[in-house]
Amino acid sequence: MVIPDFVLNAPLAMQVTPADWPGGYWWHWLFFTIIIIAFVLIMVMGVIYIERRGMGRMQSRLGPNRTGPFGLLQPVADAIKVLLKENIVPATADKVVHWLAPIIAFSPVLMIFAVIPFQNGALLADLNIGILYIIAVSSVATVGVFMAGWGSSNKYSLLGAMRNVAAIVSYEIPLALTIVGVIIFSGSLSMNQIVVAQDIPYILVQPLGFLLFFIAASAEINRSPFDLMEADSELTAGFHTEYSGMKFAMFYLVEYAEAIAMSAIITTLFLSGWRGPFLPPWLWFLIKTLVVFFVMVWTRTTLPRVRIDQLMALAWKFLFPLALVNLFITAIEVIFWPDISQWIFVGVNIVIAALLVILWSKLFKIGWGRLEV
Amino acid sequence: MKFENYGIGIIKGMAVTISHLFRHPTVSQFPEQRLNISRRSRGNELVWSREKCTGCATCAKACPQGAIEIVTSTNLKENKYEVEKYKVDTGYCIQCGLCVEACPYDALFMGYSYERAKYRRNDLIQADDELLESPERPVSGYFHPEIAEKLPKQTLLVEKVTEKRKQE
């Protein structure tokens, strides 16, 4: 087997231990695996608390405030409750698929964090195809969701899972296209290199790309207003209707871990990741991730759920063409003016983004305006 | 050409939700903070007055549920009815207040108290002295405006919140 050059010459990520230690890369692997698992589990508890309190306050409520100081122990109490609950498998369910689904849905989310830099070079594996790896791995979670829907042998589960697959297949395309815009500017697929290349946060250089990516990411991880695959008012709970106990906890974990993963990806791609003045880099990364997550909570409280046809229309009539146009403009800018300051592109691209969104608002109507909405 | 679908509605909505985040929430924490309930509230238990009751059993006839049971005997010496047993099964009571309205001698009142759940069904049946008025079983102003006047005014959550916001 011939090992390609780019694998051999790939810059090895920051080693936790000196290279001459016994075990070599495995120490690095062990250290970051533990960090990632701890990070995901603790952050999930944290963001559940932030979401419930934030949503409560936005709806003129208080949110959980009984368990522990300020209700901080509420996620812990919920976790213990859900772990102690009985695990029920429907009699007609496909048992193996039903069992495997939560695991298959959960593992890709953890795998995403392998390439997310917590600070310069502090990541499990500095893949030179990092962002491509993320697109590939994050799609696998859909298989788990569909297995859950199919294995439960429940009409609501299956409907929810079908909607999920349809949505993710549609939203992967604008997601990938907007990422290409970022890659063209940074000149690298490695997540760490993308952050290093961001002297100006790409949210300014790629405002339209950020908007499209944020919408597509929200749809990809089933967050409101695109949560119609688990719409509780129509499908009871969507694909995890028939799940209880530990397996339900896994799906709950996946939902929030995916939200954190998407926040971390948005932070890395558009908000210059761990870079920032004064504070240590990992803290900057954490703060930015939480801010992005807070915006997701904010949109969730504000916007009503869309219908499945509106979801598809948004993906194919709004996000997809605009992502193509964005990619085209980005490519032209990089090819024709590679050397001028990126600050010029900031102004130009913000104007272009505003113009395109306003223009598309005329076109983006159901039946091109012939139908009453 | 009118441009109105470019997301201005979303921005307006998000401005509303974020302004709620920095506002005082419109809630009170129940077991610690209690609001005054309506002065004419039809509470969970009936309050009966042994002195005023003549044993005419109008209340028992008015009750659509048949929850009131009254047994009387004749007192020939004073020429009146003597109430031997006055029993209300509050489990059947639907808080309609018809018995209170029917009573010709103002001997029956709706209760002002709430949180009157019991662990056993038998505890719901109350008789005689259990039904009398006491500090734990205050009388509601329902159908009795003169009682309602003396009760504290109902706190509306809206008033409470606007008061709090004025202070801030």
Partner-chain residue, chosen from A54, A298, A361, that has the shortest CB–CB distance to B5: A361
B101-125 burial, b if ≥16 CB within 10 A, otherwise e? ebbeeebbbbbbbeeeeeeeeeebb
DSSP alpha helix (H) spans, A59-123: 74-84, 95-112
Listed as ranges, residues in chain A with pLDDT below 70 are 1-24, 231-232, 364-373
In 3D space, the residue among A348, A343, A330, A362 whose CA is nearest the CA of residue A209 turns out to be A330
- A300 → chain B, closest CA residue: B14
pLDDT digits (tens, 9 = 90+) for B21-40: 887 777 778 888 888 888 99
Task: List the domain range (segments joined by +) for residue A290.
Answer: 87-369
Cβ-contact A223, A306 below 8 angstroms: no
Cβ-contact A86, A244 below 8 angstroms: yes
- pLDDT for the residue numbered A213: 92
- pLDDT for the residue numbered A263: 92
B39 lies in some domain = no
pLDDT digits (tens, 9 = 90+) for A119-137: 777 777 777 888 889 888 8
Taking residue A30's Cβ as centre, other Cβ atoms within 10 Å add up to: 13
B8 lies in some domain = no
B29 lies in some domain = no
Find chain A residues with C-beta within 8 A of B6's C-beta: 357-358, 360-361
Q: How many domains does chain A have?
A: 1
Q: Is A169 on the interface with B (CB under 8 A)?
A: no
What tokens were used for A70? Answer: 């300020």
A339 lies in some domain = yes
Taking residue B98's Cβ as centre, other Cβ atoms within 10 Å add up to: 14
Find chain A residues with C-beta within 8 A of B10's C-beta: 302-303
* Cα-based distances in Å from A25 to A11, A121, A129, B11: 13, 14, 19, 49
- pLDDT for the residue numbered B98: 93
CA pair distance B101, B92, nearest whole angstrom: 18
- pLDDT for the residue numbered A7: 45
A58 lies in some domain = no
Cβ contact (<8 Å) for B20 and A60? yes
Spell out the SS3 assignment of A195-229.
HHHCCCCHHHHCHHHHHHHHHHHHHHCCCCCCCCC
Q: Which helix (H) or strand (E) holds A185?
A: helix A155-186
Find chain B residues with C-beta within 8 A of A61's C-beta: 25, 27
More confident of the two residues B156 and B38:
B38
Q: Is B5 on the interface with A (CB under 8 A)?
A: yes
DSSP alpha helix (H) spans, chain B: 8-21, 58-62, 98-102, 145-150, 157-167
A19 lies in some domain = no
- pLDDT for the residue numbered A199: 83
Closest chain B C-alpha to A248 CA, distance in angstroms: 30
Checking if the pLDDT of B124 tops 50, the result is yes
Q: What are φ and ψ of residue B115, in 5° steps?
A: 55, 55
B74 lies in some domain = yes
Cβ contact (<8 Å) for B1 and A365? no
* Cα-based distances in Å from B25 to A46, A73, A74: 22, 21, 20
- pLDDT for the residue numbered A13: 45
Give ∠ CA B14-A40-A297 in degrees, rounded to 5.
10
E strands of chain A, at which residues? none
Partner-chain residue, chosen from A60, A65, A360, that has the shortest CB–CB distance to B26: A60
Q: How many domains does chain B have?
A: 1
- pLDDT for the residue numbered A6: 47
Checking ipTM against 0.85, whether it exceeds it is no
Taking residue B82's Cβ as centre, other Cβ atoms within 10 Å add up to: 12
B34 lies in some domain = no
- pLDDT for the residue numbered A158: 87
Indicate the pLDDT class of residue B68, thresholds 50, 70 and 90: very high
**Beta bridge mates, B71:** B85
Cβ contact (<8 Å) for B3 and A362? yes
pLDDT digits (tens, 9 = 90+) for A318-349: 888 889 999 999 888 888 887 887 788 888 88
- pLDDT for the residue numbered A9: 45
Q: Indicate which CATH number applies to the domain containing B146.
A: 3.30.70.3270
Closest chain B C-alpha to A178 CA, distance in angstroms: 20
Q: Is A60 on the interface with B (CB under 8 A)?
A: yes
Task: List the domain range (segments joined by +) for residue B145.
Answer: 46-150
- pLDDT for the residue numbered A164: 85
Alpha carbon of residue A44 to chain centroid: 13
pTM of the model: 0.81
Q: Is A341 on the interface with B (CB under 8 A)?
A: no
B121 lies in some domain = yes
In 3D space, the residue among B120, B128, B109 whose CA is nearest the CA of residue B45 turns out to be B109
Q: Is A302 on the interface with B (CB under 8 A)?
A: yes
- pLDDT for the residue numbered A293: 92
B155 lies in some domain = no
pLDDT, averaged across chain B? 86
Q: What are φ and ψ of residue B70, in 5° steps?
A: -130, 130
B5 lies in some domain = no
